[in-house]
Amino acid sequence: MEFMRTPDERFAALPDYPFAPRYLQVDDTEGGQLRIHYLDEGPADGDVVLLMHGQPAWSYLYRHMIPPLVDAGFRVVAPDLVGFGRSDKPARVEDYTYARHVAWMSDWLTRLDLRNITVFFQDWGSLIGLRLVAAFPERFSHVVLANGGLPTGMIPEQYAAPLKAAYKTLPVVKARELGERFRDKTAIPGFLYWRKFCAESPDLEIGEVMAAVSHAPMSAGEISAYAAPFPDQGYMAGARRFPSLVPVFHDEPEVGENEAAWEVLRRFDKPFLLAFSDDDPVTAGGDKKFLAEVPGCRGAAHRTIGNAGHFLQQDQPGQCVDAILAVNGRS
């Protein structure tokens, strides 16, 4: 598999990101290998906190959460998904599939032999992470789910055909318009605009996208840091592909695999805390299915992360740390 590797100098002197890079090679599923980057901070014998990011972010998203978790005595591990951050980036959009992302991160997890894991995940971190929990439930001791889910076809089948037809005619909107599209519940689902934007926008700029959805103003340094993994559009195949891999229709790949993972989650009785934000138009209401069906949610001190949008780790890192401490009985 052909891939691109972002030059190291792109990551020099990023604001509030002093962490040493670590790397692990995994099977690329085509007979070669890909390098996954991850952070590994804190005591080697500490209880593990695994932080998994989504699209289009990378482990930089967790820069303000790592130090207080280390101070609390945790070993904090934060990978960059393949196609993001300092991890290798397969060159073709077609190289990225949901199944491959699960396989790549499963290989990484088992090669590191992480156990007794408290996992915090959001966005695509949860689509992949929940599959890891279902595949290796014995490795996970606590779960914090924040603005994420495990979809098995979110759009009712009777609307699938007209929405697929409408998708072909959707305009590619500006990044600043995406929030309004998500909030408009009377028209085309906002996620389809996001899918179209990532797949076809001629000037996809990751830093600007992150700034557009942040609740607090971001500095020029932060915007540049989010964009650092992508020197040019040629590095963005993964960022462009991810929304098209979310199984929003019932006939899309991995629906069956996600349904099988749900069967495992319906037996998962370890502490499972929900920490969705108060202003995320993307995943609002997504916690209800987990509350109803995951045994570990019963009795957990669920919370709403206040004054936060989709990327609540950027907006309210302190509240996210508090959720991790709470699920471990340390609040």
Tokens of 13: 């002197």
Catalytic residue (choose from 28, 107, 280, 315)? 280
Integer Cα distance of 214 and 211 in angstroms: 5
pLDDT per residue as tens, the chain (331 positions): 999 999 999 999 999 999 999 999 999 999 999 999 999 999 999 999 999 999 999 999 999 999 999 999 999 999 999 999 999 999 999 999 999 999 999 999 999 999 999 999 999 999 999 999 999 999 999 999 999 999 999 899 999 999 999 999 999 999 888 889 999 888 899 999 999 999 999 878 999 999 999 998 999 999 999 999 999 999 999 999 999 999 999 999 999 999 999 999 999 999 999 999 999 999 999 999 999 999 999 999 999 999 999 999 999 999 999 999 999 999 7
Q: Taking the model in full, what pTM does it have?
A: 0.97
Q: 37 with 64: CB under 8 angstroms? A: no
Strands 303-305 and 140-145: unpaired
**Cα angle: 30, vertex 123, 65; to 5 degrees:** 105
Tokens of 178: 């995406």
Report which DSSP code applies to 95: G
Integer Cα distance of 23 and 262 in angstroms: 31
Integer Cα distance of 7 and 5 in angstroms: 6
**Which of 295, 258, 254 shows the shortest CA–CA distance to 131?**
258
pLDDT value of residue 15: 97
pLDDT value of residue 82: 98
Range of the domain at 213: 1-331
Integer Cα distance of 322 and 331 in angstroms: 7
pLDDT value of residue 14: 97
What is the three-class DSSP state of 6? coil
CATH number at residue 235: 3.40.50.1820
Q: 126 with 294: CB under 8 angstroms? A: no
**Which of 94, 89, 87, 90 shows the shortest CA–CA distance to 108?**
87
Tokens of 126: 């949860």
pLDDT value of residue 187: 83
pLDDT value of residue 78: 98
Residue 56: asked if its preceding bond is cis (omega within 30°), the reply is: yes
What are the C-alpha distances in Å from 269 to residues 70, 80, 183, 277, 296? 27, 28, 34, 24, 4
Alpha helices per DSSP H over the chain: 66-71, 98-112, 124-135, 157-167, 178-183, 190-200, 206-213, 220-227, 237-245, 255-265, 287-293, 312-315, 317-327
Q: What is the number of structural domains in the chain?
A: 1
Q: 275 with 144: CB under 8 angstroms? A: yes
Catalytic residue (choose from 37, 88, 310, 322)? 310
Active site residue 123: yes
Catalytic residue (choose from 107, 123, 315, 322)? 123
